[in-house]
Amino acid sequence: MKRFMVGACIAVLILGCVTVCRGQKIPWKASGGSGESAAPVAPGDLKAELPPAQYRRVMKPIEAQIALAEKAMQPYEKEMQKPEEKRRQALLIKCKERAAACYLGASTAAKGALRLVKKDSHKAAIKQQYEEPNREKAIDIYLELALDAHTSGDLRRTVGYYKKVLSIDRENTQAKQALIKLAEQYKQAMKDKKKGGSKGGGDMKGDWDIKIGKGIFNEGLENLGEFSIW
């Protein structure tokens, strides 16, 4: 009888604990339970909230790269004021390449600056105001360069710029789709060459240089994952 009473008391205590727990929030699930991501952190004001010395350590490398990017584009803007037939295309390309590299450098510097701050709001500010925007600027410039190179018939540079974009953003759909299209055109050019009965001594000039194309598309274009046509 005593054993029965003790067992009954234990059962009542367990039931009571379960009932209380149902009405309380479990600390690690107070935000809504598993499966729900935390709310995004609002970016803080770096200049107002960081000590001056720390702010300089965070911002100096980023601002230096941004300044270099802006400086690189000054000759570009000056050259673009000339009539189109007098513009030096090599200079325009060099300016854009330099600017893109510097914007990418600013993004990299911002990413490195994340370890210099502790608060999530400061990390969010660096990421949203410097790391991501400067990375996107670099990508945009490389995409413009790729389009210009494609328009001028420069296959090697076209593919090189698109692959540069993918080295920055592996999931960039525009670069992936462009490379796939180029690869398809190259394959078609190879098929047409075979149909024509050429054995390597024919005319290799035009929009598609088969020898150059073969070298480019063997350099790793097959690593496009789900977008691959190989």
Q: Which residues contact 112 (CB under 8 A, 6 or more apart)?
A: 61
What's the pLDDT at 182?
85
State both tokens at 83.
Answer: 């009539």
**Amino acid at position 176, single letter:** K
Q: Which helix (H) or strand (E) holds 56?
A: helix 52-80
Give Rg (Cα) of the chain: 29
Q: What is the mean pLDDT of residues 131-158?
A: 95
Mean pLDDT computed over every residue of the chain: 79
Nearest to 109 by CA among 62, 73, 67, 59: 62
Q: For 44-57, what is each residue's pLDDT tens digit?
A: 899 999 999 999 99
- The overall pTM is greater than 0.75: no
- Better pLDDT: 63 or 217: 63
Q: Using CA atoms, how far apart are residues 57 and 51, in angstroms rounded to an integer? A: 10
Q: Write the CB contacts of 30 (distance below 8 Å, at least 6 apart in sequence).
A: none
Spell out a b/e string for 32-71, using b for 16 or more CB atoms within 10 Å of the CB, else e. Answer: eeeeeeeeeeebbebeeebeeeebeebbebbeebbebbee
Report residue 89 as tokens.
């295309």
Q: pLDDT, tens digit, for every residue of 159-180?
A: 999 999 999 999 999 999 999 8
Q: What are the residue boundaries of the structural domains of the chain, listed by start?
A: 44-152, 158-196+205-230
Residues 6+ apart with CB under 8 A from 122: 43, 44, 46, 49, 50
Please, are residues 141 and 190 in contact by the beta-carbon 8 Å criterion? no
Lowest-pLDDT choice from 32-41, 131-140, 153-162, 206-215: 206-215
